Amino acid sequence: MPLLSNDAFLSQLTKLYEKSKEKGTVYVTMKRYAYNVRKDPATLANPDTEYPCLVRATSASTKISTLVNPQDTDRFHDAYTNIIKLHMDSLKKKERIKKVKKAKNAA
């Protein structure tokens, strides 16, 4: 699973959502990426350290990932939000079952 550039990741993510429109699921995970920091203990003491974000998306047989730098977070998040809004129209509506209230006995 090689790291893609942010733009390439977003275009591949769009393709994953289009493939899974009828059947399938796309899982997206985001987490702080601090691999290089663990190797250098001097940076652990600095609380002002900004970490990149690792974003992964998996489908049935496809896995893609990217590393979002702190200065690119706002632009990436805006583009990601637009993709999510476009492709979240195939969600199933929750079926609600009406419960019948029991009549109170006036005994």
Model confidence over 88-105: pLDDT tens digits?
Answer: 876 677 788 888 777 777
In a domain, 64, yes or no: yes
User: How far, in Å, CA of 40 to CA of 53, rounded?
Assistant: 18
pLDDT digits (tens, 9 = 90+) for 17-63: 999 888 888 999 999 988 766 666 665 666 677 889 999 999 988 99
- Domain presence at residue 68: yes
pTM for the full model?
Answer: 0.74
Residue 61 domain-assigned (yes or no): yes
Provide the number of structural domains found in the chain. Answer: 1
Residue 44: domain span: 3-72
Residue 81 lies inside a defined structural domain of this protein: no
Residue 23, in any domain of the structure: yes
| CA pair distance 69, 74, nearest whole angstrom | 10
| CATH number for the domain that contains residue 35 | 3.30.720.10
Extended beta strands in the chain, E state: 3-4, 27-32, 53-58, 63-68
